[in-house]
């Protein structure tokens, strides 16, 4: 089976966006023989929005970027993103903040911009001091090597334990105007030691006001990155940035504007959903893509809690890995949420086979057919609560022995 | 390294208790060549207390026993426990309740007792109909074979995927009177497919009023079984029963009574802690026993949430399996609770080594020594929040490849 079901929106070629320039190099701080430092420079006039980890132990770059993202950047100047892989600069005390401050001073000096136009993301080991002086030494080299066609190299430079880079790039038409959206992400479906971070960067030339872009960013994250479950762990460094160069203005009447904006929102969402699904499937050991939908719930909150209880259950994830239609584990995962439900109303489906209703198993299931269906790479679980009209969907991967192997052995 | 650290209270020999009789047999409902049906008959005059799963999808025997445990049993009659392994009688609809009703009618008839003196526990696959007629066929045989020395056989009959039986048996003295406490449990440190259930049965001859025994039962469960974390999943069938035959009266003055009762409480607690720790270490694939203590918290609730966030983290459990002092993962697990903490005050210890303070790693750790310490079978993690005086401790095991192997392959 191909992966086409979740990569349908991807073209074969990376598209550049006028006003978004990348440069990468090997910083010498962690990895050898690969680039691990990425500079992104956005032309003056760009807006930038972002969302960050909810961990109460955020890394220094998250603290820095979160503060800056709240106030508007200076539109007369360039906007800068500096990302390094291998060291998360998390739980590094005062020195972590100093590292950000020093990098920002150097960048502000080189690009003649305010510090509030500068954003950081770091991914890698927690608790090790960031050798920021080494990073600063490379900034002039990076400036000299900026290129708008560096998307592929950029996507590679931010990887840690990822098996492959994750890129999304697409041209889209709204009211006969052609726009571009490009993005890349890092993160693994099964999270790795000290490298749990999910980072994503999305760029477009679609001109839009900052408030709407910020609203779209948060909303689309709720429909994408916040729907993927890995192992229930939360990184200290998760960050998503969305930026527009504002170079291509939409020419529409006032009446046409809401529909056009909505079409743009759908493009952001598609980009994020695509990248989120790629993250789910990238984990070493992950062999199945699992979509869990909880339907007909009284509230989204109830549907979401049940959805994630299933997605985070080791017993469910190992059952799927074993291609076993073990719906008893789904019942267990629903029950442990302690949400009060009418047991006899619940229907549970796997791969469209109704496995349980009226508070008991369905006896007429064609087990041979079901067994074949479970061998597919994509597994769909549907829980129908029959108590309302709200729903929630989440995506996860199965849990295989390889996950443990890598996680136990990674740092040694 | 031996397991003596958590089995110190165990004598080599099972002790019988006057008035507690066991019989086992093979029911023919699931397993071959082993006993999987257990009858326990308590003499008239016995008290019985219990605690059950908080799952909102409880099995039929849990529903039955929970109802009966709320009202006092008839002290003039025998009290009966019937336990089967291999089929949980969970999510079996109306037929699940009928199975309990039919078994109870047969038992009430055989032992001339009220149905409210009858209790059930079932462990095994969820969603399969219980062949209760087969079970009822064996009740007369079991009655004929009751024996007070059947503790070991009883402990074996309730096992599912457990690797070994878990027994606790001890004589204890209070005010120069000799009493006995015996118990057994089933459950695996790493929970198995459809067999996630933890069952425990504890018996004593120490005479005590029902209300106090019930209070002690709940309190001791809070200090033992509710401190073990496995994979965060909750069974539909978890049940703990505590019973006294009331055959041995304490001869104390009114003034001596509180201290004597407290001494008895400590014995119940010891029995439960011992059995809980055995459950943690019994899982296939579990190689390490991990004790997590969160100290100096503002409240027990905060300490407990952080404790279980660490205990349930796959990244922490795989790090311990890999004998890696990866304290960054502890920081991650603390942070993901979203409890507001003063980061710079937190101290983290592994095997008594201080690894992090002042919001950053300690650089003077003797890594060779720490590495040796992590090779031990017992791993102690201490998180000092320095914000109050409350604490919580939980126990878990590491996560190895074998866990996944067994869980993915079990039913197939």
d(CA A108, CA A105): 5
DSSP output for A296-341: EES-HHHHHHHHHHHHT-HHHHHHHHTT---HHHHHHHHHTT----
pLDDT value at residue A410 = 47
Domain count of chain A? 2
Active-site residue, selected from the candidate residues A92, A123, A197, A396:
A197
- Regarding whether B264 and B349 lie in a shared domain, the answer is no
Q: Chain B: nearest CA to A234, how far in angstroms? A: 5
d(CA B242, CA B213): 8
| A118 membership: H or E segment, kind and range | strand A118-125
**Mean pLDDT across the stretch A397-408?**
73
pLDDT at B214 over 80: yes
Q: Are the C-beta atoms of residues A296 and A315 closer than 8 Å to each other?
A: no
Annotate A197-209 with b (16+ C-beta within 10 A) or e (fewer): bbbbbbbbbbbbe
Inter-chain CB proximity A335 and B412 less than 8 Å: no
- Report which of residues A360 and A157 the model is more confident about: A157
Report, in angstroms and rounded to the nearest whole number, the Rg of chain B calculated over CA atoms. Answer: 22
pLDDT at A169 over 80: yes
CA-to-CA separations, A225 to A86, A219, A321, A393, in angstroms, rounded: 22, 10, 23, 12
Residue of A274, A283, A255 lying closest to A410 (CA atoms): A283
Q: Which two tokens stand for residue B273?
A: 């802690």
pLDDT at A69 over 90: yes
Inter-chain CB proximity B408 and A58 less than 8 Å: no
pLDDT value at residue A194 = 41
pLDDT value at residue B4 = 28
Lowest mean pLDDT among A161-170, A188-197, B245-254, B321-330: A188-197
- What CATH number has the domain bearing residue A335? 3.10.20.340
- Regarding whether B320 and B276 lie in a shared domain, the answer is no
A4-8, A18-22, B221-225 — most confident range: A18-22
Q: Chain B: nearest CA to A374, how far in angstroms? A: 13
- Regarding whether A342 and A208 lie in a shared domain, the answer is no
A194, A231, A232 ranked by CB distance to B328: nearest: A194
* Residue A364 a catalytic site member: no
Bridge-based pairing state of the strands B347-350 and B353-357: antiparallel
- Regarding whether B326 and B405 lie in a shared domain, the answer is yes
Q: Which residues, 6 or more positions from B80, have their beta carbon under 8 angstroms from its beta carbon? A: B39, B40, B41, B42, B107, B111, B113, B117, B118, B119
A236, A404, A410 ranked by CB distance to B399: nearest: A404
Q: Which two tokens stand for residue A345?
A: 């109303």
Three-state SS at A255: coil
Inter-chain CB proximity A331 and B236 less than 8 Å: yes
- Regarding whether A397 and A313 lie in a shared domain, the answer is yes
Residue of A221, A188, A223, A217 lying closest to A203 (CA atoms): A217
CA nearest A336 in B: which residue?
B55
Q: Chain B: nearest CA to A109, how far in angstroms? A: 29
Q: Which residues of B touch A367 (CB under 8 A)?
A: none
Inter-chain CB proximity A323 and B412 less than 8 Å: yes
Among candidate residues A282, A299, A330, the one where a domain is terminated: A282
Neighbours of A168 (CB within 10 A): 26
pLDDT tens for each residue of B347-389 = 999 999 999 998 888 988 898 899 999 999 999 999 999 999 9
DSSP output for A146-211: -BTT-HHHHHHHT-SS-SS-EEEEEEEEETTEEEEEEEEEE--SS--TT----EEEEEEEE---HH
d(CA B22, CA B333): 45
pLDDT value at residue B136 = 98
- What CATH number has the domain bearing residue A208? 3.60.70.12
Q: Are the C-beta atoms of residues A86 and A31 closer than 8 Å to each other?
A: yes
Among candidate residues A259, A282, A305, the one where a domain is terminated: A282
Tokens 């009266």, residue located: B249
**Mean pLDDT across the stretch B245-250?**
95
Bridge-based pairing state of the strands A289-297 and A378-384: parallel
Q: How many Cβ pairs closer than 8 A exist between chain A and B?
A: 237
Inter-chain CB proximity B93 and A344 less than 8 Å: yes
Q: Which residues of B touch A326 (CB under 8 A)?
A: 193-194, 411
Report, in angstroms and rounded to the nearest whole number, the Rg of chain A calculated over CA atoms. Answer: 22
Lowest mean pLDDT among A62-66, A323-327, B2-6: B2-6
Q: Which residues of B touch A329 (CB under 8 A)?
A: 126, 193-194
Q: Are the C-beta atoms of residues B377 and B289 closer than 8 Å to each other?
A: yes
pLDDT value at residue B147 = 96
- Regarding whether B338 and B273 lie in a shared domain, the answer is no
Torsions phi, psi for B241 (to 5 deg): -115, 135
Q: Are the C-beta atoms of residues B149 and B16 closer than 8 Å to each other?
A: yes
- Regarding whether B313 and B233 lie in a shared domain, the answer is no
CA nearest B399 in A: which residue?
A404
- Regarding whether A331 and A197 lie in a shared domain, the answer is no
Q: A148: number of CA atoms within 13 Å, CB side?
A: 13
- Regarding whether B18 and B111 lie in a shared domain, the answer is yes
Q: Which two tokens stand for residue A61?
A: 């770059």
pLDDT at A9 over 80: no
Q: Which two tokens stand for residue A133?
A: 């002086």
Neighbours of A163 (CB within 10 A): 13
- Across the beta sheet with B37-42, the strand order is B20-25, B37-42, B79-87, B118-125
d(CA B229, CA B277): 10
**Mean pLDDT across the stretch A283-311?**
90
d(CA A149, CA A22): 7
Q: Are the C-beta atoms of residues A136 and A106 closer than 8 Å to each other?
A: yes
Q: Chain B: nearest CA to A95, how far in angstroms? A: 9
- Regarding whether A213 and A192 lie in a shared domain, the answer is yes
Query: Counting every residue, how long is chain A?
Result: 412
CA nearest B92 in A: which residue?
A360
Q: Are the C-beta atoms of residues B272 and B202 closer than 8 Å to each other?
A: yes
Confidence of residue A326 (pLDDT cuts 50, 70, 90): confident
- Report which of residues B133 and A127 the model is more confident about: B133
**Mean pLDDT across the stretch A292-303?**
96
Tokens 């074998």, residue located: B402
Q: Are the C-beta atoms of residues A351 and A310 closer than 8 Å to each other?
A: no
Q: Which residues of A touch B195 (CB under 8 A)?
A: none
Tokens 């369905």, residue located: A362
CA-to-CA separations, A3 to A31, A155, A288, A376, in angstroms, rounded: 30, 20, 11, 11
- Regarding whether A265 and A326 lie in a shared domain, the answer is no
Range of the domain at B229: 4-282
- Regarding whether B345 and B220 lie in a shared domain, the answer is no
Q: Which two tokens stand for residue B372?
A: 């040796």
Q: Chain B: nearest CA to A11, how far in angstroms? A: 35
pLDDT at A207 over 80: yes
pLDDT at B399 over 90: no
Bridge-based pairing state of the strands B360-361 and B353-357: antiparallel
Among candidate residues B282, B314, B332, the one where a domain is terminated: B282
- Report which of residues B113 and B198 the model is more confident about: B113
pLDDT value at residue B37 = 98
pLDDT value at residue B284 = 63
| B306 membership: H or E segment, kind and range | helix B300-311
Torsions phi, psi for A287 (to 5 deg): -120, -20
Tokens 């390490």, residue located: B288
d(CA B96, CA B116): 18
Neighbours of A111 (CB within 10 A): 18
A236, A333, A408 ranked by CB distance to B332: nearest: A236
CA nearest B53 in A: which residue?
A336
Q: What share of chain A is helix, strand, coil (3-state, %, to 5)?
A: 35, 25, 40
pLDDT value at residue B262 = 96
**Mean pLDDT across the stretch A254-279?**
95
pLDDT value at residue B113 = 97
């Amino acid at each position: 089976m191909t992966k086409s079901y979740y990569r349908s929106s991807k073209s074969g070629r990376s598209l550049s966006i006028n006003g978004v320039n990348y440069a990468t190099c090997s910083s010498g701080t962690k990895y050898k023989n690969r680039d691990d430092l990425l500079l992104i420079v956005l032309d003056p006039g760009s807006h930038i929005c972002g969302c960050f980890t909810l961990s109460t132990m955020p890394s220094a770059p998250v603290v820095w970027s979160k503060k800056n993202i709240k106030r508007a950047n200076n539109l007369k100047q360039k906007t800068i993103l500096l990302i390094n892989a291998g060291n998360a600069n998390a739980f590094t005390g005062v020195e972590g903040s100093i590292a950000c401050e020093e990098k920002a001073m150097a960048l502000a000096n080189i690009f003649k911009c305010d510090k509030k136009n500068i954003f950081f993301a770091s991914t890698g080991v927690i608790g090790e001091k960031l050798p920021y002086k080494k990073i600063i030494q490379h900034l002039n080299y990076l400036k000299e090597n900026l290129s708008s066609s560096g998307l592929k190299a950029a996507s590679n430079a931010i990887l840690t334990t990822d098996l492959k880079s994750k890129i999304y790039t697409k041209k889209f038409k709204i009211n006969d105007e052609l726009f571009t959206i490009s993005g890349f992400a890092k993160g693994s479906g099964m999270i790795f030691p000290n490298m749990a971070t999910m980072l994503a960067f999305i760029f477009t030339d679609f001109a839009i006001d900052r408030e709407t872009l910020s609203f779209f960013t948060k909303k689309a994250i709720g429909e994408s990155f916040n729907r993927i479950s890995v192992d229930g762990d939360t990184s200290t460094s998760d960050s998503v940035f969305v930026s527009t160069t504002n170079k291509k203005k939409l020419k529409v009447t006032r009446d046409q504007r809401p529909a056009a904006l909505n079409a743009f929102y759908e493009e952001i969402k598609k980009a994020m959903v695509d990248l989120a699904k790629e993250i789910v499937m990238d984990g070493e050991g992950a062999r199945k893509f699992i979509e869990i939908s909880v339907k007909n719930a009284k509230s989204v909150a109830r549907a979401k809690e049940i959805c994630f209880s299933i997605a985070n259950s080791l017993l469910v994830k190992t059952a799927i890995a074993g291609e076993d239609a073990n719906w008893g584990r789904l019942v267990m995962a629903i029950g442990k949420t302690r949400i009060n439900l009418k047991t006899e109303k619940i229907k549970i489906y796997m791969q469209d086979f109704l496995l349980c209703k009226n508070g008991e198993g369905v006896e007429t299931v064609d087990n041979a057919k079901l067994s074949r269906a479970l061998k597919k790479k994509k597994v769909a679980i549907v829980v129908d609560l029959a108590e309302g009209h709200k729903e929630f969907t989440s995506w996860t991967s199965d849990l295989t022995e390889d996950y443990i192997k890598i996680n136990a052995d990674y740092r040694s």
